[in-house]
Structure 1
Amino acid sequence: MKPGFSAVGLLAAVLASVPARAEDKPNPWFQIPATASFSTGDTWTYAGETHRLYGVQACLRGTYFTNAAGGRVDCGEASLAMLVSLIRDLKPQCYTAAWQVATKTRFVVCVAQPVSGSAAGSRIDLGTALISTGWAFAAITPNGTPVHAPYIVAQEVAKKQHLGLWQFANVPDPNAIILHNIRNASNAAGQSSNPPANR
């Protein structure tokens, strides 16, 4: 065997065992494609997967508030319009914070870094942008605690300043509605598991 061939083989083996450099790893951040289908003010789908903003709860479709002109407005549609508008204007990048296999749902955090305008050079969290302007709410768990604590702070500021949906006196709080439905379902399940008393 010629010495040159064994050196080449050894070099190839060494190079094959070297871990990939950081720039060779796939980028975990992704854009929201123009073909995404928006279903609520916190959720969209594409490529057979649902993407939901982590810690954000949009106003529910089919619930209404009365605007300043006295018109009845679907609260969920208002949240949806703001989400689509912010995504179009900010073009955020998202990453998966959690993955729910059974429902093919990605819980995502999205961040924009504008290069022009008054926000140039800053980092804007999409969830914070929606909640702090009053067009979405901080999501809460079934026991009533916030999913992401900073969002509840942003919500309280928006509420106190009557921003976005909070400017309307009869805005339907989606968290209150969801918790009410969970408690009703829980009570109904508890009653159905108890056999009726003998009479």
Structure 2
Amino acid sequence: MSFLALLYAATLALALPPLAAAQAPAQAQPAFGIPKDGVTFETGDTWQQGSQRMRLYGVQACIRGTRFTNQAGASVDCGEASLSYLAAVIRDTSPSCVPVAQIAGAPATIIVVCTVQVGGQTLDLGTILISQGFAFASFSNDAKPVYMPYLVAELTAKQAKRGLWAASDLPHPNTLLFQSVAKKS
């Protein structure tokens, strides 16, 4: 397959929701919206609405407290930049989300896949965040991408220096997370 054909196929895949949505339990989960009020953003991939914590499937935001130098030369919190972008996209697009898994805890974290309507097209929220350079493809504990099209979107954003990728000192969260795990081992 030629490079252009591969890139075209990857672009088409990016427009579709992740496979996890199709692999949900046999009993379909109802879609829900994210309300305009009563939402607390924790990170660029996690928020609380009411008593529920939601996290985007396959998306890793910048870690809060890590810093990068923006185009104006100021040191900026990378996690806050991811969080602000997520909040703005949610405010502007009113996503529809579907739960795909749940992680125990207090409160439990519901893993979701969300879509938005932009220009008459349905787009995946994770793809938007990653392809615009304000989030990253998450990796499993065995260092494999959770959802390969998100890694393609990340590499495309990196090559184009979109969003946070414009910073030469971007603290990539997966690198930091893997370093943290290696130190604990």
Q: Which residue of 1 aligns with 2:49?
A: 46
- From 72, 77, 98, the equivalent of 2:75 is 72
Name the amino acid aligned to 2:82: S
Query: Secondary structure in 1 aligned to 2:99?
Result: strand
Find the aligned partners of 2:90 and 2:166 in 1 and give their Cα distance.
Answer: 23
After the TM superposition, which residues 32-181 of structure 1 pair with which residues of structure 2 at under 5 Å, given as runs?
32-33=34-35, 34-103=37-106, 104-114=108-118, 119=119, 121-181=120-180
- Under a length normalisation based on structure 2, what TM-score does the superposition of the two structures give? 0.81
Q: Which residue of 2 aligns with 1:22?
A: none
- From 20, 30, 33, the equivalent of 1:31 is 33
Find the aligned partners of 1:69 and 1:101 in 2 and give their Cα distance.
Answer: 42
- Segments of 5+ residues of structure 1 without an aligned counterpart are 1-24, 187-199
Find the aligned partners of 1:27 and 1:56 in 2 and give their Cα distance.
Answer: 20
Name the amino acid aligned to 1:177: L
Find the aligned partners of 2:49 and 2:81 in 1 and give their Cα distance.
Answer: 22
Name the amino acid aligned to 1:112: V
Flag the structure with more relative contact order, 1 or 2, with Cα contacts below 8 A and sequence separation at least 6: 2
- Under a length normalisation based on structure 1, what TM-score does the superposition of the two structures give? 0.76
Tell me by how many angstroms 1:76 deviates. 0.3
Find the aligned partners of 1:80 and 1:27 in 2 and give their Cα distance.
Answer: 26
Query: Cα RMSD (Å) of the superposition?
Result: 1.5
Name the amino acid aligned to 1:29: A
Tell me by how many angstroms 1:70 deviates. 1.2
Name the amino acid aligned to 2:171: P
Query: Secondary structure in 1 aligned to 2:42?
Result: strand
Find the aligned partners of 2:41 and 2:150 in 1 and give their Cα distance.
Answer: 22
Query: Secondary structure in 1 aligned to 2:121?
Result: coil
Find the aligned partners of 2:126 and 2:38 in 1 and give their Cα distance.
Answer: 21
Find the aligned partners of 1:59 and 1:83 in 2 and give their Cα distance.
Answer: 11
Structure 1 residue ranges (4+ consecutive) displaced by more than 3 angstroms after TM superposition:
none
Structure showing greater Rg: 1
Superposed CA deviations along residues 115-167 of structure 1, whole A, max 9, x for unmatched, are xxxx2x10111000000000000000122100111100000000000000001
How many residues align? The count is 157
Find the aligned partners of 2:83 and 2:44 in 1 and give their Cα distance.
Answer: 4
CA contact (8 A) 1:142 1:182 kept: no
Find the aligned partners of 1:51 and 1:176 in 2 and give their Cα distance.
Answer: 24
CA contact (8 A) 2:29 2:99 kept: no
